[in-house]
Amino acid sequence: MAKNRGKNPPTPSELDPLIHERLRLGIVCTLAVHDTLGFTELRDLLQTTDGNLSVQARRLEESGYLHCSKRFEGRRPRTSYRLTTRGRAALERYLEVLSEMLPSTVQVRQTDARQPAPVRRPLRPAPAHS
């Protein structure tokens, strides 16, 4: 569990903006549970396009969060990715800050229980105009 840093939770600005983008977060999280994935495997798991994956993976690689390996099998290029130690540490920090920002499920349930149920009025048919 995350450590509380006093009574104030962290702010969204404390989240790593490099990881926080949707596709980059997906890349980092997917590689955290797989040692190495090929470009096509990663693209298919994340249901994205070649161009989007290429651009976002390059940003993570430039930051040192990913290692990219390129080779040829026969005449076909093969690209694979793995999360670096730096990338894993950044993901751990990101998740810790995020968990400190989120309320507990008990708090959510208590807040939800205090909310009055919405008043629902029965629908009446509109009067017919002659």
pTM: 0.76
The rounded mean pLDDT for the chain is 87
Write out pLDDT tens, residues 112-122: 666 666 666 66
Going by C-alpha positions, the residue among 77, 58, 76 that lies closest to residue 68 is 58
Structural domains for the chain? 12-92 (1.10.10.10)
User: Phi/psi at 37 (nearest 5 deg)?
Assistant: -135, 145
Cα–Cα distance between 46 and 23 in angstroms, integer? 8
pLDDT at 3 over 70: no
Write out pLDDT tens, residues 13-33: 999 999 999 999 999 999 999
Cα–Cα distance between 44 and 6 in angstroms, integer? 42
CB-based burial label for 28 (10 Å; 0-12, 13-18, 19+): buried
Write out pLDDT tens, residues 59-118: 999 999 999 999 999 999 999 999 999 999 999 999 999 999 888 777 777 766 666 666
